[in-house]
Every structure is written in C-alpha cells, then in structure tokens.
Amino acid sequence: MRIPEKGLSREEIVRTLEAYKAQDLPWQSGRVMAYVYDPGKEALDTAKQAYMMYLSESALDPTTFPSVMRLEKEVVRMVIDLLRGDDQVVGNMTSGGTESILLAMKTARDHARVTRPGIKAPEMILARTAHPAFHKACAYFDIKPVVVDFDPESFRADVEAMRRAITENTIVIVGSAPGYAQGVVDPIPEIAALAQEHGLWCHVDACVGGIHLSFMRKLGYDVPPFDWTVPGVTSMSADMHKYGYAPKNASIVMYREKALRRHQIFSCLQTTTYALINPTILSTKSGAPMAGSWATLACLGEEGYFKIVREVQDATARLVEGVNAIPGLRVLGKPDMCMFSFTSEEINLFQLAEEAKRRGWYVQPQFSTPISPYNLHITMNQSSLSCVEAFLADLRAAVEAVRASDTQIDIEAVRAQLNALLEADPAGARDQILALGGVSGTDLPDSMVMINCVLECLPDHVAEDLLAEYMNELFA
C-alpha cells in the first residue's frame, strides 16, 4: 500500500476503517474473556471525551502543558492512596504494565550499581507464574532471570525456593498480586520479608489486580496482603487500563520513596538539541491516557468501583462453580479475584477454545509448565456480567462437541512427531514445524488449534525462536 496521491474524504476513511475492523473481536458484547475492560457507557463516553481533549498535548515538557503534569500527579496520588501508600511513596504514569515493570527493574538494577558496585552480573528471582514482562526486562537490561517453581496446587510462589535461589548477585525478588494466569496472589509479606532480610529490592506486580483487589479489601473481601502496608515492598506497578477501567495506554509505576525513583529518571544535555529529561521510557507521550484515567476515576468514584467489583466477583463465583460442574473440566488453584483458568485431562483444550470461538466466545489458551497443565484463561469484567449463563451453556455444548469429534487431536502424538523432526534435522526443521502448525505466508491463520498444539509441545527456546521468526515475517 502507498500513500494516496489525493487525500481521501472523511467518509471514505471511516468506511475503510470500519471494513478493516470487521474481523476484530466484538469486545463490547461481553463475549471476549481477555484483553478488554469495559467501565460501562457513561464512564467510557466521559473518558473518551477527556481522552480526545488531550490527544495532542504532550507530557514531554511540563512547562508547555502544565495541566498534563497535574493530571498525572493527581492520578498517581489517587492510586497510591488506594494502595495505602504514605506521603513518601511516589510514582509516574507509563504506557502500560510492561513499561512499568521495565522501569522498576531498570531502576532496581541502577540502584544496585550504586549501592552494591561489586555486582557485575545482576540476578532477578521470580516464580514461573510471574508475567513475561520480567523476562523482557532481563533481556533489555542484562539481568539474569532465576526462575523458581510454585506450589502446583495453590499456584502461589514458593518462598523457600526463592530463599535457596539467592546468591551474592541477587538484586531483586518479584511477587505477583495476582499472577495473571490463575488470578492467585503470591505470599507477598513472606517475599518482602525475605527481600528485607537480605537487603534486596522487592517488586510487587499488581498491574492487573492492584485496583480491583484494593476495592475488594474496602468491601470486606478476604484479600491477601500485597500493598504498601507490607514492610519490605520497594516498588509496585498497577494498571489503570485494566481493572481501573481507563482507556489504554495507562499504567503506574511506584516507589517507596523519591530517592529510589531518582535511578529511573534519564536526562541528557550532550547534544545540539533541547534539554531532555524523561521520568519514564517514552519522551513524547500523549496526555490523552492521563486525562482518560483521571476522568474514569472521577466519573466512577468509589461508589462506582464498589458496584462493579461486587457484581464482577459474584459473576466470577458463578462462573467458577459452573465450570467445575462441567464433566471433564476443573478450575486451577483458588483464584483471589475475577481471573481464573481451567484445564482438562479428557479433551483437547485448544479445540475447545476453537469450538467456543465458533459460538462467539473468546477464551485465552495458556501453556503447560513442568509442574502445571495447559489450560484456558478467563478474565471477567463488567461487560460480561449478563453473559454468565449463556457462556456456561455454550461451554458445555463445546465440550460435548470436542468429545464427540472424530478428529480430536492427541497432544502427545503431536509431541512425538515434533521430537522426531527436531532429532532428524535440528537446524532445518523450522519450515516443517510451521507446516505442521498450518502456518504459511504473511496472513493470520484461520485456526489456532494446530499452532497452539505445536507451541505446547515444543521446547520453550525452540517455540520462542519460531514465534520471533513468524512475527518478523508477519509485519512489513
């Protein structure tokens, strides 16, 4: 595609974009059980209006647009207060949970360079249930990830395994509140105490759940401790664009005190250009997400969040009970909030996800680890409240359809076939593996079943290389 010689009319542009969106998942329907968080029409419309008011204003230079800095400071302070931080806790808004995590880990590394200069090969300890963004931070900032296991029944991080993993190079220990996959909060007080005992940085990843869990606590739910009231917590991340229900891209990274955040900030006067001072990774960043976050918090208020949390938690309880009642399915662990996953020893779950998609639902496949089975993930939010019974009915029908299918795929047979390919030609098996997964060309595949089966069966490092190669081909 090339830039048109003459500009298109607004009508033509809108018509084209609507055609592009025709194959997108209908997230407003409540039938997409991942990725989206709908605050309801009034809050969404208000946030959109605020967002558009600040679409062109930049947070790069606060002297130019001081109102953007004010919005950021007010959103950050409201979230710190919700997470029971004192006046010493500080933070900044970022483009999302990944940037918040990257910044916290970069800051922990740079803090260690000053306070423990003898460390030349820094290490991070994290459970296998931690978000992949921590592995990205390790790749970006030359930190070695030291991955420990979790309790295979509760899915909580194994603190004693973390203790055994500490070395003279350890700089940071990570806990999740909750881990995305099963919605389970790690034993944060024990992790933070371990970090404190050894003089280490402790980061709590509350990106997906920090806001929702905090309102659950205020409502009297039994919520495991995870916030700034836990001694030893050094930094924390919480997303506004998840269960804060704000427009994307909006997250917050926080630190126990300003002296720690100082290692986050980048400044440069070594070029012919203007003085560059960046508190976060991005230089130019739109004020729109900050305005959208501020408007969402202001529009919903505590009363609005309380209503959403009560209703979503009630719906989640009905979903968990309903899934467990379907023969052949079982929920993993005991979720602490409105996210969970379920598995099966009887049917191919990737085919089940495909059957659910044929019935208009999106559920998210997740892969196995050496101590946990592959599974399907559910993220429950307000837009899906009215869909619980319909989803359970269609899920029951989808399970029976897969069970009755004469083309059910045997995961272990796929694993054996892949192992044979890798043993025969380790270096040249890529094209054969892609063909087995049904991947060809640069278009998105019609079905993800075989691709997911292949990813489930390949060794992690082989699957990661394959995904990177495929993504490299997919984009121009």
**164 phi and psi, to 5 degrees?**
-65, -25
pLDDT at 24 over 90: no
Instruction: Quote the pLDDT of residue 472.
Output: 87
**Total structural domains within the chain:** 2
11 located within any domain: no
Dihedral of CA atoms 56, 61, 65, 66 in degrees, nearest 10, equals 150
Confidence band (pLDDT; 50, 70, 90) for 431? confident
What residue type is assigned to position 313 of the chain? Q
Same domain membership, residue 280 and residue 416: no
304 located within any domain: no
35 located within any domain: no
Same domain membership, residue 290 and residue 157: yes
pLDDT at 262 over 70: yes
Confidence band (pLDDT; 50, 70, 90) for 25? confident
User: How much is the average pLDDT of 137-152?
Assistant: 98
Rounded mean pLDDT of the chain?
95
Establish how many alpha carbons lie within 13 A of residue 3's alpha carbon, considering only the half-sphere containing its beta carbon.
2
User: How much is the average pLDDT of 190-213?
Assistant: 98
Measured between alpha carbons, how far is residue 302 from residues 57, 98, 309, 336, 404 in Å?
28, 27, 10, 21, 48
Share above pLDDT 70 across residues of the chain, in percent, rounded to a whole number: 100
Among the listed ranges 80-89, 198-207, 437-446, which one has the minimum average pLDDT value?
A: 437-446
Instruction: Quote the pLDDT of residue 28.
Output: 81
Q: Is 301 left (phi over 0), alpha (psi -120 to 50) or beta?
A: left
358 located within any domain: no
Measured between alpha carbons, how far is residue 24 from residues 287, 332, 362 in Å?
27, 29, 11
Instruction: Quote the pLDDT of residue 221.
Output: 98
88 located within any domain: yes
CA distance 401 to 459: 30
Residue in the block written with tokens 């192992």: 419
- 223 touches 213 (CB < 8 A): yes
User: How much is the average pLDDT of 108-112?
Assistant: 98
**65 phi and psi, to 5 degrees?**
-130, 75
pLDDT at 346 over 70: yes
Instruction: Quote the pLDDT of residue 3.
Output: 94
CA distance 237 to 461: 28
Instruction: Quote the pLDDT of residue 27.
Output: 81
Confidence band (pLDDT; 50, 70, 90) for 191? very high
Q: Which domain holds residue 170?
A: 49-295
Q: End of a domain among 295, 310, 329? A: 295
User: How much is the average pLDDT of 339-348?
Assistant: 97
CA distance 203 to 173: 6
- 362 touches 428 (CB < 8 A): no
Confidence band (pLDDT; 50, 70, 90) for 470? confident
381 located within any domain: no
Same domain membership, residue 232 and residue 87: yes
**pTM, rounded to two decimals:** 0.95
If one compares 407 and 232, the residue with the highest pLDDT of the two is 232
Confidence band (pLDDT; 50, 70, 90) for 441? low
Helix/strand/coil (H, E, C) string of the chain?
CCCCCCCCCHHHHHHHHHHHHHHCCCHHHCCECCCCCCCCHHHHHHHHHHHHHCCCCECCCCCCCHHHHHHHHHHHHHHHHHCCCCCCCEEEEECCHHHHHHHHHHHHHHHHHHHCCCCCCCEEEEECCCCHHHHHHHHHHCCEEEEECECCCCCCECHHHHHHHCCCCEEEEEEECCECCCCECCCHHHHHHHHHHCCCEEEEECCCCHHHHHHHHHCCCCCCCCCCCCCCCCEEEEECCCCCCCCCCCEEEEECCHHHHHHHCEEECCCCCCCEEECCCCCCCECHHHHHHHHHHHHHHHHHHHHHHHHHHHHHHHHHHHHHCCCCCEECCCCCCCEEEEECCCCCHHHHHHHHHHCCCECEEECCECCECCEEEEECCHHHHHHHHHHHHHHHHHHHHHHHCCCCCCHHHHHHHHHHHHHHCCCCCHHHHHHHCCCCCCCCCCCCHHHHHHHHHCCHHHHHHHHHHHHHHHCC
User: How much is the average pLDDT of 274-300?
Assistant: 96
262 located within any domain: yes
Residue 253 β-bridge partners:
92, 237
Q: End of a domain among 295, 318, 339? A: 295
> Measuring CA to CA, which residue among 239, 244, 240, 252 is closest to residue 279?
252
What CATH number is attached to the domain comprising 143?
A: 3.40.640.10
3 located within any domain: no
Same domain membership, residue 285 and residue 415: no
Among the listed ranges 85-94, 249-258, 382-391, 430-439, which one has the minimum average pLDDT value?
A: 430-439
Residue 267 β-bridge partners:
277
Residue-wise pLDDT for 316-338, tens only, equals 999 999 999 999 999 999 999 99
pLDDT at 444 over 90: no
Residue-wise pLDDT for 2-17, tens only, equals 899 999 999 999 999 9
* Residues ≥6 apart with Cβ < 8 Å to 159: 187, 190, 191, 194
CA distance 28 to 21: 13
pLDDT at 439 over 80: no
Q: End of a domain among 267, 295, 323? A: 295
User: How much is the average pLDDT of 142-170?
Assistant: 98
- 237 touches 253 (CB < 8 A): yes
CA distance 354 to 375: 13
User: How much is the average pLDDT of 90-116?
Assistant: 98
Dihedral of CA atoms 156, 109, 166, 100 in degrees, nearest 10, equals 0
- 156 touches 175 (CB < 8 A): no
> Measuring CA to CA, which residue among 220, 222, 249, 204 is closest to residue 83?
204
Same domain membership, residue 429 and residue 281: no
Confidence band (pLDDT; 50, 70, 90) for 476? confident
